[in-house]
Structure 1
Amino acid sequence: MPTFPLLRRYALFSTLLISACGTAPVNNGSQYEVKAGDTLYSIARNHNLSVSELQRLNQLSDNTIQIGQTLAVKPNPKAASVSTPSSKPTPSKPNPAPVASKPSPAINLIWPSKGPILQNYNGGSNKGIDIGGEAGSPIYAAASGKVAYAGNGIRSYGNLLIIKHNQDYLSAYAHNQRILVKEGDIIKQGQQVAEMGSSGSNKVKLHFELRFKGKAINPKPFLAQ
């Protein structure tokens, strides 16, 4: 496994996965310092903002944030323009019609393990699917891609493997007994990449997640039936 600083690993992981950990208290009423496990989504949610509002406040071009970075979480009142009594009211313009969000483009996945499903995706307490099996059972890459992370820096995920498939999709494989690939490796669909285990868990299982632009989505519709 490559030996680059642990903080860099946390920063990478936090931009790839939305952590289940809560966001730490704000530094003050208008700023927040990014902690390990934070994402734009979690910070925006905890400060009653949308992700786009948070990006606009901090002039961010994407969702990338770094541990220790200070973010504005309230508009600067000095930036607001104040109308004088003699100012004429500006005619209001109709709001443009909302643009419907496009569905996630398809990605073809194979099942990463042949065991029974222990728990399905629900979007809340479980952001993936849990697959049971025996310790040492093979774990396969659900799709071709490049290993973006291989390590155990996030305790609740145990030995964790993340494969980036393209600019939009990545898959995560948690609680492994052993990871058989390293960061930077090019992976083929169906290649064995790990062995099932119970690291970071109280039972042997594979926790499998599919992420689209960093957001967990239900992997089942994309898995070969």
Structure 2
Amino acid sequence: MALAALLLAGVQISGCSTPTRAKVVSLEKRVTGAQTGNRSSYHRVRRGDTLYTIAWRYGVDFQELAGWNGISPPYTIYPGQSLRLSYPVTRVAPDTPGQEHKKASSGSSATTAKTAPEAKVAARRSSDNKGNLTGQKQKVVDSNLLERTNLVWQWPTNGRLEQRFSNVDPSRKGIKISGSSGQRVVAAESGKVVYAGSGLIGYGRLIIIKHNKNYLSAYGHNRKLLVNEGEVVKKGQQLAEMGKNGAGKPTLHFEIRRNGTPVNPLKFLPRRR
């Protein structure tokens, strides 16, 4: 009789208890190289980095990189900031009764950056009327760029095609065109200069242009840069003077990337006669 009473009590207790449930905190949309070990999951921002150069270095789309880290245009980042290089990994957390469920944020580093002294100074500057007007004009320019779909490319310089694009060789993400030191390097299409500098190893003095929300082009191994970041350039406008590659030969390295992925420029450039 006593044993039956104990069993009955156990059934009553188990029937009244509420099991702890697990909830998805963040949803992983796809698995990238960051999860599979092909690259580090995070990048620590260094002085001279931009969102575009980081995206270029790791072969990801700059808009996705911004989204993963909660960064909005004009994509300001700060030295020391840690940027996620992939979608957030799905993880589970106990759903504690009475506790508000909080979503994981991929933009925590961006939020921290906003409290940095540099961000406060930038916020004060942005409140200036002149700065606001400039910002409005910039938004219009960026909006117009994003809406362009009918890109018509031209060759970025004259010369002989020295090296073709390869899908399998990581050292051949673009084409190489030989020429003479100092010869003109021009924009293959209209767009906005999002990088002008020498911070990416292997490219020398480099220019990156954003043409719309999908396409970027790059011009490497320049002797002299003639445009600045943020400048809007027209198709055929001179960007730089041709310089020499690592072997000391006057060469232009030219790339086109679609959604962060290198594509064969020869499929976009007009056929030479």
TM-score category of the 2 structures, normalised to the smaller one: 0.5 to 0.7
d(CA) in 2 for partners of 1:13, 1:156: 13
**Kept in 2: contact 1:175–1:201 (CA 8 A):** no
Q: What stretches of structure 1 of length at least 5 have no aligned partner? A: 20-37, 42-51, 53-57, 80-104
Q: Alpha-carbon deviation of 1:136?
A: 0.5
Q: Say if 1:112 and 1:39 are closer, same or farther in 2 by CA, change over 3 A.
A: closer
Q: Alpha-carbon deviation of 1:106?
A: 6.0
d(CA) in 2 for partners of 1:168, 1:196: 26
1:148-184 CA distance string (max 9 Å, x none): 1100111311000011111111110000001111111
The 5-angstrom pairing of residues 18-167 of structure 1 reads 19=57, 38=58, 68-69=82-83, 75-76=90-91, 107-123=151-167, 124-125=169-170, 126-167=172-213
d(CA) in 2 for partners of 1:9, 1:193: 21
Q: Alpha-carbon deviation of 1:40?
A: 5.2
Q: What stretches of structure 2 of length at least 5 have no aligned partner? A: 1-44, 95-148
Moved over 4 A (4+): 58-62, 70-75
Q: Alpha-carbon deviation of 1:39?
A: 5.2
2:54 counterpart residue number: 14
**Identity rate of aligned residues, in percent?**
37
| C-alpha RMSD over aligned residues | 3.4
**Kept in 2: contact 1:111–1:223 (CA 8 A):** yes
**Kept in 1: contact 2:50–2:195 (CA 8 A):** no
d(CA) in 2 for partners of 1:13, 1:200: 20
RCO higher in structure (CA 8 A, sep ≥6): 1
1:27-64 CA distance string (max 9 Å, x none): xxxxxxxxxxx4558xxxxxxxxxx9xxxxx79899x9
The 5-angstrom pairing of residues 160-175 of structure 1 reads 160-175=206-221
1:73-117 CA distance string (max 9 Å, x none): 8653658xxxxxxxxxxxxxxxxxxxxxxxxx7631100011001
d(CA) in 1 for partners of 2:46, 2:91: 34
**Kept in 2: contact 1:135–1:197 (CA 8 A):** yes
The one-letter amino acid of 2:176's match is D
Quick check: which one's helix share is greater?
2
d(CA) in 2 for partners of 1:75, 1:61: 20
- Higher-Rg structure is 2
Query: Which of 255, 265, 273 pairs up with 1:209?
Result: 255
**Kept in 2: contact 1:177–1:199 (CA 8 A):** no
1:181 counterpart residue number: 227
